[in-house]
Structure 1
Amino acid sequence: MTKWFFVSLIISLFVTNVYQGVLAKPSIEVHIVDYLPDNTVPLTFHCASKDDDLGYHHPKVGDDFHFHFLPRVFGHTLFFCHFWWGKKQAKFDVYTSNLSYNCLWDETPITLCYWKVQGNGFFLGPSLTEGKKMHDWNE
């Protein structure tokens, strides 16, 4: 009897955690904003997940490329991008559940994640004014 009680308790806690962590936040929106210096080589990047190819993008300074998705209830949601800026490049995950802790989680139905692309690296935060450096450019 106690075995079934603990199994039921674990399942209930899991379902509650899934509901609060995923179903309560139905949509994730990732922004990639070009904050590179004016009059330099343009930025190019390509983003994808296992299931979706978001294509190649060539933004102008100040442009905001963004995409949204529903996170998987079971398994891992992962989006990655490869960036090129002249002779510099970088490739990394732009969304995972671990990275989402750097995003804006409030009462709205959308979780916002902002990547700010600058000459000195890549910054992630809940807005363009709040972010921490996550990656450098590779030469």
Structure 2
Amino acid sequence: MTKSFFILLIIFLYITNAYQGDLAVMTEYYTEVHIVDALPNNDIPLTFHCASKDDDLGYHHPKVGDDFHFQFIPRIWFGHTLFFCHFWWGNKQANFDVYNHHLDVYCSWNVNTISCFWKVQGDGFYMGPSLYEVQKMHDWSQ
């Protein structure tokens, strides 16, 4: 009886602590992802569709220079947050994760914000902590 009670108490404390950890994260920081159309011109329009397991961010048709961005509170316990996008530009396309916890190293960290910037260019996709500090991450496929 005592052993069973002790095991149940440990499980209860673990679950309660994990849940409170997620609540603490909600008040401490959030993540924002920016996708900037840096293509050469608007002659061939860019289209992309982004989603996560829980949220569909829809289809977007930005103009050159437009900054589509979204914010979320990352999940740390019970799985990690992941957002992916599919991009089309003329006869080229690409699809990949625009956010997962492994990509945090390419983002900037502020007091309560993680900012990740994606720059869509004619030769591929660049990511970094700002639009001026990016590195190539993906190519277009045909």
Question: Shared fold (TM-score greater than 0.5)?
Answer: yes
Partner Cα distance (1:24, 1:134) in 2: 31
Q: Which residue of 1 aligns with 2:80?
A: 76
Q: Which residue of 1 aligns with 2:129?
A: 126
Q: Which of the pair has more CA radius of gyration?
A: 2
One-letter code aligned to 1:87? N
Q: Does the 8 Å CA contact 1:25/1:111 hold for their aligned counterparts?
A: no
Query: Paired residue for 2:11?
Result: none
Figure out how many residues of one structure are paired with residues of the other and give that number.
Answer: 123
The one-letter amino acid paired with 1:89 is Q
Higher helix proportion: 2
Q: CA RMSD in A?
A: 2.0
Q: Give the superposition deviation at 1:38.
A: 1.1
Cα deviations by residue, 1:29-59 (Å, 9 ceiling, x for unpaired) = 0000000011431000000000000000000
Secondary structure of the residue that 2:105 maps to in structure 1? helix
Q: How far off is 1:25 after superposition? A: 4.8
* Distance of aligned partners of 1:25 and 1:91 in 2 relative to their CA distance in 1, 3 Å threshold: farther
1:6 is aligned to none
Normalised to the residue count of structure 2, the TM-score between the two structures is: 0.80
1:44 aligns with 2:42: no
Cα distance between partner residues in 2 of 1:25 and 1:120: 37
Q: Counterparts of 1:24 and 1:43 in 2: how far apart (Å)?
A: 35
Q: Which residue of 2 aligns with 1:7?
A: none
Could you list the runs of 5+ residues in structure 2 that have no partner in the other structure?
1-13
For the Cα contact (< 8 Å) 1:28–1:71, is it kept in 2? yes
